[in-house]
Amino acid sequence: MKRRMVYTAGVAMAVSALTVMLVTGVFCKPGNGGVFGNGNASPLRSDSVTADTVKTQEAFRKVYELNKESVVYISTEQTVRKQRNPFMDDPFFKDFFPQEMQQKRTQKVTGLGTGFIISDDGYICTNYHVVAGVEKVKVKVVNDIYSADIIGFDERTDIALLKIKANSKLKPVYFGNSDNVSVGDWAIAIGNPFGLNSSFTVGVVSATGRRDLDLMGDSQTHIQTDASINPGNSGGPLLNIYGEVIGINRMIYSQSGGNIGIGFAIPVNTAKSVLDQLRQHKKIKRGYIGVQIAPLTEEIASQLGLQNTEGALVGQIVSDSPSEKGGIIPGDVILSVNGKQVKNYGDLVSVVENTPVGETLKLEVWRNKGRVSLYIKVAERP
């Protein structure tokens, strides 16, 4: 069966109304005086094993309380061109259509998503695809609704920065460290799936460093989680058990459009550098060193004296680039950058692109069956 990637804001769908069907039953007055049920307290309330589980429950409640005023509801509006009925151009059938239908060629389409507050003066993080191409953005913070400006966005990482003018200081989220996230960690999502405001779901981190999930290329990594994420969750925070943001919920694998337990979030460490640049420059200035990478096969690794295929094999050097000036030559294998191991091409691209222009990187390369240290000053990608 073919898998399908769904961007969880439901970008392509028009959100006109949300119909909630409730199946009602018999409502009983709580208390011990009713006819039904055991009037005594459950014996599990005094069970030691259950008591330990209740501590986890309390931790979840604290995570929600910590973030409930920081996660926001985003609604958007845009004008789209309606597909014209081909019969309207037919001289015979044209008169069967009302005049206003023939003249009205556009319609308003609304969308929804999630965001979270990252500064007390009104900066908000969300996904780019939540606000892509829209004309109006409204942000609901608790019970207050504000018009938002799109300060900047980065399509490559799918991150957008919004700004609202609030009546008072807002409550920003706490940032965690996505580099420390491990498989099995608690993963908590807060968002607005299908317009259901402030929904709280819990799961675990299923994988880290997932690559090649869409057209963003192999340098974009994601955190995978089974915490329930659905259309409307896009742009909301993925939290750890301490209530810290470790990722931005972005998309799911799904055949139906609904959650099947495979969701993906942008690591918050990636987002932080992007958001800072968007605030300063309204665009992203990506780092560049000017190397072209070749496949590092087991045969080539053996010939070079390497024990495995980890690293980035330099195939060519761009003329007059930072790499040429810094002494990198074709045939070098880049093993680490600033002490961080480079396992493949994606690791190298990720580090270089997220390094501020003008900073110097320390590269450890494999050359002539030995390690060599080089220093490369990062330039802006042409």
| CATH number of the domain bearing residue 266 | 2.40.10.10
Banded model confidence at residue 144, pLDDT cuts 50, 70, 90: very high
CATH number, position 341: 2.30.42.10
Check 75, 154, 158, 228 and give the catalytic one.
158
Query: Given this model, what pLDDT does residue 108 score?
Result: 86
Query: Given this model, what pLDDT does residue 110 score?
Result: 92
Give 155-191 pLDDT, tens digit per residue: 989 999 999 999 899 999 999 999 999 999 999 999 9
Residue 59, phi then psi, degrees to nearest 5: -65, -40
| 315 falls within a domain | yes
Banded model confidence at residue 4, pLDDT cuts 50, 70, 90: low
CA atoms in the 13 A half-sphere facing the CB of 4: 10
* CA distance linking residue 215 with residue 267, whole number of Å: 17
| 22 falls within a domain | no
Which residue intervals of the chain are DSSP H helices? 48-67, 99-103, 128-131, 268-281, 298-304, 322-326, 345-353
* CA distance linking residue 142 with residue 170, whole number of Å: 10
* CA distance linking residue 59 with residue 237, whole number of Å: 17
Query: Given this model, what pLDDT does residue 262 score?
Result: 93
Q: Which of 289, 291, 359, 354 is nearest to 154 (CA)?
A: 354
Give 342-367 pLDDT, tens digit per residue: 998 888 988 898 888 899 999 999 99
* CA distance linking residue 43 with residue 50, whole number of Å: 10
Q: Is 42's pLDDT higher than 70?
A: yes
Banded model confidence at residue 23, pLDDT cuts 50, 70, 90: very low
* CA distance linking residue 45 with residue 314, whole number of Å: 63
Give 235-282 pLDDT, tens digit per residue: 999 999 999 999 999 998 877 777 888 999 999 999 998 999 999 989
Residues 264 and 323 in one domain: no
Residues 188 and 276 in one domain: yes
Residues 343 and 307 in one domain: yes
- The domain total for the chain is 3
Q: Could you list the residue range(s) of the whole structural domain that residue 119 is in?
A: 71-97+106-163
Q: Among the three residues 134, 163, 192, which one is the final residue of a domain in this structure?
A: 163
Query: Given this model, what pLDDT does residue 292 score?
Result: 93
Residues 140 and 227 in one domain: no
Q: Is 97's pLDDT higher than 70?
A: no
Residues 154 and 179 in one domain: no
Check 75, 178, 199, 234 and give the catalytic one.
234
129 in active site: yes
First and final CA of the chain: distance in angstroms? 41
Q: Among the three residues 163, 185, 209, which one is the final residue of a domain in this structure?
A: 163
Residues 265 and 307 in one domain: no
| 145 falls within a domain | yes
* CA distance linking residue 317 with residue 289, whole number of Å: 9
CB 313 within 8 Å of CB 342: no
Section 330-337 average pLDDT = 96
Residue 158, phi then psi, degrees to nearest 5: 65, 45
Kind of pairing between the strands at 360-367 and 340-341: unpaired
Residues 255 and 182 in one domain: yes
| 1 falls within a domain | no
Residues 189 and 158 in one domain: no
pLDDT higher at 285 or 335 = 335
Check 75, 129, 199, 219 and give the catalytic one.
129
Residues 149 and 210 in one domain: no
Would you call 273 exposed, middle or buried from its count of C-beta atoms within 10 A (0-12, 13-18, 19+)? middle
User: Distance of alpha carbon 347 from its chain centroid, rounded?
Assistant: 19
Q: Is 288's pLDDT higher than 50?
A: yes
Q: Is 16's pLDDT higher than 60?
A: no
Q: Is 31's pLDDT higher than 90?
A: no
* CA distance linking residue 59 with residue 352, whole number of Å: 38
Residues 276 and 295 in one domain: no
Q: Is 98's pLDDT higher than 80?
A: no
Residues 368 and 304 in one domain: yes
Residues 293 and 275 in one domain: no
| 88 falls within a domain | yes
| 184 falls within a domain | yes
Q: Which of 227, 222, 228 is nearest to 271 (CA)?
A: 222
| 151 falls within a domain | yes
158 in active site: yes
| 129 falls within a domain | yes
Mean of pLDDT over the chain: 86
